[in-house]
Copies of this chain bind each other. A is one copy, B any other.
């Protein structure tokens, strides 16, 4: 029981940030002497520190703040993207302590090369920080099995059946948690972003691929047999462009990076920076933006109507390239989803907002799945 309370308190500090003993007692429904025993134990172990807060306006003695100590538990987070790998060591409390990243050149992004590079880079980061990670979370743009970190298919990486969890774990000798990138994005937004406090939210991100993560009834939803669903391969345009997945007219083929390039009149495969420049330019003229992106807007709307009608979220968080769409486009999408979705009307209008965690969203989500497994052993 005491171990359980300790873990719950630590999770609260880890996710919610510094807090007073009094606030912790209220939030956990424990009495102050129990909290004192727990905090004293954690302070003795170097996991938290108590500090006098900056003087406030109130009279009387200020309550001590309990702060999680970042170095007390460090996890490795890896965000494997189609053209880029980002890595970091993340400390208790969710702060990124050191980071590394490198580009993947198309012909050489084999699983072997990536695994070797991740292992080398982990050693360098741990040496820099002077702390070894106790677990790792890996974000993969594909269909993964949570139980053992098996990557079934990561089509945009051209990976099939890679025992990623096993291979990294065999060398690094720590628990390896592998998750679908959008699932981890949803987790990060739920714990640390705009979906904080939302019990039912969907995160939709468009990059080269399109993915989604679902928070249902307050927790992260994963699909059958530990595989997560692939929102990007919802058929939205029967008879549309063929998709590598075996279907045609998938949402991914209509709102992914390639589709956005087509809509903007840019060559497919152009550098990301050029897409962002074009979008920023376009944002200055809302009418032109709506006109040029009319078809893209319609496919984005249709897919979101389906997502909302199926899952009934109160909140949809848009990630990656969708965060840089002109504001006028997002406004039209939000209005149309509310107008056309029966379920959106029922929940009083699903809110559609952009991700606030920026480029680190999947890295932060990867760190959180790793923390989930270690907080009870800190």
Chain A contact residues, CB within 8 Å of chain B:
143, 145, 152-153, 155, 199-200, 212, 216-217, 221-225, 227-231, 233-238, 245-247, 302, 305-315, 339-343, 345-348, 350
Q: A143-B346, A152-B346 are contacts. A312–B235 as well, Cβ < 8 Å?
A: no
Shortest C-beta distance, A284 to chain B (Å), equals: 30
Q: How many copies does the complex hold?
A: 2
Instruction: Verify A230–B313 contact, CB threshold 8 A.
Output: no
Give the chain B neighbours of A238 by CB distance below 8 A: 236-237, 302
Shortest C-beta distance, A347 to chain B (Å), equals: 4
Instruction: Verify B225–A347 contact, CB threshold 8 A.
Output: yes
Instruction: Verify A224–B306 contact, CB threshold 8 A.
Output: no
Could you show 17 A-B contacts with beta carbons less than 8 Å apart?
Answer: A143-B343, A152-B346, A224-B311, A224-B314, A224-B343, A225-B312, A225-B314, A225-B346, A227-B347, A228-B312, A229-B309, A229-B343, A230-B342, A231-B310, A234-B310, A237-B238, A246-B340
Give the chain B neighbours of A307 by CB distance below 8 A: 310
Contact of A345 among B153, B221, B340 (CB under 8 A): B153
Instruction: Verify B342–A224 contact, CB threshold 8 A.
Output: no
Give the chain B neighbours of A310 by CB distance below 8 A: 212, 229-231, 234, 307, 310-311
Instruction: Verify A221–B230 contact, CB threshold 8 A.
Output: no
Instruction: Verify A342–B153 contact, CB threshold 8 A.
Output: yes
Give the chain B neighbours of A212 by CB distance below 8 A: 310
Instruction: Verify B227–A343 contact, CB threshold 8 A.
Output: yes
Instruction: Verify B312–A224 contact, CB threshold 8 A.
Output: yes
| C-alpha gap A238/B305 in the complex (Å) | 12
Instruction: Verify B224–A199 contact, CB threshold 8 A.
Output: yes
Give the chain B neighbours of A153 by CB distance below 8 A: 342, 345-346
Give the chain B neighbours of A223 by CB distance below 8 A: 200, 216, 311-313, 343, 347
Give the chain B neighbours of A315 by CB distance below 8 A: 224
Give the chain B neighbours of A308 by CB distance below 8 A: 229
Shortest C-beta distance, A304 to chain B (Å), equals: 10
